[in-house]
C-alpha cells in the first residue's frame, strides 16, 4: 500500500509539473478592419510577395475576378503576377461596410473594396468590387484559406 501511495504521489506531482510548465496557446486577436486593410495595402504594392504571408499554402480555393478560380496559393500567385504586370500603380481601400464574423478558429469577413489602378499605358481604372474571405487560426496566425473577389457586371 505504501508503494501504491508513493507511485500515486509521484504521478500527481508529475502531472502538476506538466500543467504548470506546458505553454498555453495564446489567443490571437480576431482580424479587424485594420488587418483587412493591411492585406489590401500589400496588394497595392503589386508584389505578391507582400501578401503571401496572409495566404494558406496547399490545396485551397481562391476565386478572383479573372480567371475563374485557383486551386492553391501557388496558382493564385502565378496568375496574380501575370495580371498585375500590366499595372504601374494601385490603391485598394476597404470600405466602411466591412463585416467580420468570428467563429472559433475561423473568421469570415465581407467587404467592398475601392480600387484605383493605373496601367502601364497610363489608363486609370476606378471602381468597387466585392470581397469575401475566410481566415483560419493556424499556430496563432490568421491565414486566408478561402477568398472570393468579384466585380459587379457592367
Q: Is residue 121 a part of any domain in this protein? A: yes
Over the chain, what is the mean pLDDT? 86
- CA 30, 47, 124: angle at the middle one, nearest 5? 100
**Tens of pLDDT, residues 87-96:** 999 999 999 9
Q: Is the previous residue joined to 67 through a cis bond, with omega within 30 degrees of 0?
A: yes
Matching residue, cell 507582400: 50
pLDDT band at residue 17 using 50, 70 and 90 as cut-offs:
very low
pLDDT given at position 28: 80
Domain count, the chain: 1
Distance, in Å, from the CA atom of 63 to the CA atom of 150, rounded to the nearest integer, reads 8
For 91, the domain range is: 29-150
pLDDT at 78: 95
- Flag whether 71 is in a domain: yes
The CATH number of residue 96's host domain is 3.10.450.50
pLDDT in tens, 103-138: 999 999 999 999 999 999 999 999 999 999 999 999
- Alpha carbon distance 39, 22 (integer Å): 33
pTM beyond 0.95: the answer is no
Residue 2 within any structural domain of the chain = no
Residues 56-76 have a mean pLDDT of 92
**Which of 16-20, 28-32, 81-85, 131-135 shows the lowest per-residue confidence on average (mean pLDDT)?**
16-20
Amino acid at each position: 500500500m505504501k508503494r501504491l501511495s508513493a507511485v500515486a504521489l509521484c504521478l500527481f506531482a508529475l502531472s502538476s509539473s506538466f500543467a504548470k510548465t506546458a505553454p498555453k496557446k495564446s489567443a490571437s486577436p480576431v482580424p479587424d478592419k485594420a488587418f483587412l486593410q493591411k492585406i489590401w495595402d500589400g496588394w497595392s504594392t503589386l508584389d505578391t510577395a507582400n501578401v503571401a504571408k496572409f495566404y494558406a499554402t496547399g490545396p485551397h480555393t481562391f476565386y478572383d475576378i479573372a480567371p475563374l478560380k485557383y486551386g492553391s496559393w501557388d496558382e493564385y500567385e502565378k496568375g496574380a503576377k501575370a495580371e498585375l504586370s500590366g499595372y504601374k500603380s494601385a490603391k485598394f481601400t476597404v470600405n466602411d461596410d466591412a463585416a467580420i464574423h468570428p467563429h472559433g478558429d475561423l473568421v469570415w469577413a465581407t467587404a467592398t473594396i475601392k480600387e484605383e489602378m493605373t496601367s502601364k499605358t497610363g489608363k486609370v481604372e476606378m471602381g468597387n468590387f466585392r470581397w469575401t474571405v475566410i481566415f483560419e487560426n493556424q499556430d496563432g496566425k490568421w491565414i486566408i484559406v478561402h477568398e472570393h473577389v468579384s466585380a459587379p457586371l457592367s
